[in-house]
Amino acid sequence: MKVKSALLMLVFTIATVLTGCEPLMVLDPKGPQAERQAHDILLSIGIMSFIVIVVFAILIYVLIKYRASKASPDYEPPHIEGNKWVELICVGIPIVIVTYFSIVSVQSNYIVEAKPQAYADKEPLVIYASSSDWKWHFSYPEQNIETVNYLYIPTDRPIEFKLYSYGPITSFWIPQLGGQKYAMSDMITTLHLAADEPGEMMGRNANFSGKGFAENMFNVTAMSEKDFDKWVKDVKKTAKPLTEKKFDELLKPGHLGQMTFTGTHLGFNPPPEEHHMGAPKNKDGHTDHSQMDMNMDMSNQ
């Protein structure tokens, strides 16, 4: 009786506590890429839960049916060399499950890596997202503005992020819009996202990059195309221009609040060349091992 009461109390406590929890951001998608990923996560959870329930049900059945107390003291089990059906089930079912998950993963990977199909006929908004210790710089070349630690995007339009880093490797992640992707110092990686509805979201660096990693976050606001154009006009009227001197100050390690500028750093401090991979180079064009070592040391702090 005491055991049953304790179990009921435990279930009640868990249910009560969980009712106050907000939904996981990855399971609260606001865009087509995130919606596909959330579908795959729920599909995986459902299949794995079914497998666990079936396995535990078989285990309970075997423990009860073949428990020692039911057999006579002189009982000797028959000698069995093997059973092809049992072996086929034990080997075949895992193969089927892994094959199915592999097919789903490959299909989803192609979908989330490409421009969202729902907006295939629309021109993407290109945003250069670069990280430094420990902040994010967002450059809008089409609008000729730049923001620090916050991002405004229009809804119902594909967004093409160009990711790179001015320090150690970071990972750009907006959970409600899609998966994460690395930003590195000597190459650009491209991430396609889109927002289906207006709202506030959180973005962050998901890769450890030193002592300031925990606060390496940024705010994301999705709004209608009309409101986005209005914001761009307001920025051009009120924000100060971004100079090379000011940008060099922003690159120094530390945390900053949200900042807005007209112009971008892409002109005087251009991003790495597209598809260019490898170690940082010095002025002579050779591999700069000192820079690699410095980046590695910063990552391990």
pLDDT in tens, 160-211: 999 999 989 999 999 999 999 999 988 999 999 999 999 999 999 998 888 8
What's the pLDDT score for residue 1? 54
Do 242 and 265 form a contact (C-beta atoms < 8 A)?
yes
What is the Cα–Cα distance from 188 to 184, expressed in whole angstroms?
A: 7
What is the Cα–Cα distance from 7 to 202, expressed in whole angstroms?
A: 38
pLDDT single digits (tens) 247-280: 999 999 998 899 999 999 999 999 987 643 444 4
What's the pLDDT score for residue 90? 87
What's the pLDDT score for residue 250? 94
What is the Cα–Cα distance from 97 to 242, expressed in whole angstroms?
A: 54
Fold of 121-271+287-300: Immunoglobulin-like (2.60.40)
What's the pLDDT score for residue 289? 40
Single-letter code of the amino acid located at 259 = M
What is the Cα–Cα distance from 16 to 8, expressed in whole angstroms?
A: 12
What's the pLDDT score for residue 82? 77
Classify strands 150-154 and 217-223 as parallel, antiparallel or unpaired.
parallel
What's the pLDDT score for residue 291? 42
What's the pLDDT score for residue 4? 59
What's the pLDDT score for residue 55? 92
Query: Can you give the residue ranges of every domain in the chain?
Result: 121-271+287-300
Find the DSSP H helices in the chain: 2-18, 32-65, 84-113, 225-238, 244-250, 289-300
Do 7 and 151 form a contact (C-beta atoms < 8 A)?
no
Question: What are the residue ranges in the chain where pLDDT is below 70?
Answer: 1-8, 10-23, 70-71, 274-301
pTM for this one?
0.77
